[in-house]
Chains A and B, each alone.
Chain A
């Protein structure tokens, strides 16, 4: 079973709202990732969690705040977003600690975010 789930599937929010994206995997994977994908572009890495600790932050603005409450869950808290933050947000997980070239990342279905 290589399932990663994400909720909600769609989210519309105003620039003053606070919302959260959720990601869950029950494959025992030790690394989890957040990606942002703009239309007609490849995914861009935002954050990597390894063993529930933040290991990579790709210079993401502080209005995006990740959280890893346990090894199965990954949240992305959103606050004071801008319209240009509208995108597909993808969560992924991999079996190891996230540091090996051979690790396959398995993705969730994504959350389509629209910021008005």
Chain B
């Protein structure tokens, strides 16, 4: 069975600074996908970034990068140059074949 863990219920960051949101996972399957989603108060789950288990390089998408440490089974999201609009709930998710599981989420608040 797979498990995904986000240990930070809430995080604060100053505008324009970088922030790291933690995510660890556990699976015995060698093939899996790791995803980060952003959920503003409006409710929509917005896809941010994807990392495959066989990918050699860390994924990057604009201000988002995924710090993938396979041996430690961690997939932390780094947001650079935080903006006020980044305030939201962030979910880490892992997919093994058709089974997608979400972590508990981290609420990020960006301070002006």
A positions within 8 Å CB-CB of B: 2, 40-43, 45, 48, 55-56, 88, 90, 92, 98-110, 112
Contacts known (A42-B103, A42-B104, A98-B98); A109 close to B47, Cβ less than 8 A: no
The total of interchain contacts (Cβ-Cβ below 8 angstroms) comes to 61
Contact of A56 among B37, B52, B98, B105 (CB under 8 A): B98
Contacts known (A42-B103, A42-B105); A101 close to B32, Cβ less than 8 A: yes
A43's closest neighbor in chain B, by CB? B102
Residues in chain A near residue B37, CB distance under 8 A: 107
- The yes or no answer to B45 lying at the interface (CB within 8 A) is yes
Contact of B52 among A42, A102, A112 (CB under 8 A): A102
Contact of B43 among A2, A100, A110 (CB under 8 A): A110
A31's closest neighbor in chain B, by CB? B98
A66 CB to nearest B CB, Å: 16
